[in-house]
Amino acid sequence: MIDRILAKRIVPVVVLDRVESAEPLAEALLAGGLDIMEITFRTAAAAASIERIAASFPEILLGAGTLLEKDQVQRAKDAGAVFGLAPGFNPEIVAAAKEVGLQFSPGVMTPSEVEGALALGCKLLKFFPAEIAGGVNMLKALAGPYGHTGVRFIPTGGVSLGNLAAYLKLPVVAAIGGSWMVDKQLVNDGKWAEITRITREALAAAAEAR
């Protein structure tokens, strides 16, 4: 999983209101060169959307986000997700993910949370909410005491085309998480060509930041 994420360095954070949007969105992202998706469990369409994409597009590295409850972890795994994420650090959710064999990245924003996640074997962590929690400067500070552990971060929350390069230039950043290329309104309006265009633009910016 980590190698796939490091290859593209962008994880689109997707909120789907309709299951019918799942496959066209996957096609739009693939057309733009991106084979990674995080579908959040914020709507009733999440599990069925993951199931559809997993069946139709096995080449996509498919994740489930906003996993806040143990049953969501199981549903995500059953639907075909290969990794999971959460906005915060809940040891019970980390344990549930391990139990079902779902690679999991909990969310952190403080040194104590980083240490708690590391103690449970989690080394790929979501840094959320990135911009509000100190952004690039906070990640630089965290890299000091924890960089040698091999921990890597996926900053999410306020990350955009305009600031992604600053994050991606940090050695402790594996990838960024963002929703601008899969904006909810664009998805609901079925503007697939625009999503493809924005995705290509984002990947080009990420490549330049290496």
Nearest to 134 by CA among 84, 181, 85, 170: 170
123 is catalytic: no
Nearest to 206 by CA among 153, 147, 159: 159
Nearest to 145 by CA among 176, 100, 110, 192: 110
Catalytic residue among 8, 38, 51, 77: 38
Q: In this structure, is the dihedral angle defined by the CA atoms of residues 120, 123, 128 and 131, taken in order, positive or negative?
A: positive
Q: In this structure, is the dihedral angle defined by the CA atoms of residues 111, 127, 148 and 117, taken in order, positive or negative?
A: positive
Give me the phi and psi of 103, to 5 degrees please.
-60, 135
99 is catalytic: no
Catalytic residue among 126, 131, 191, 208: 126
Report the catalytic residues: 38, 126
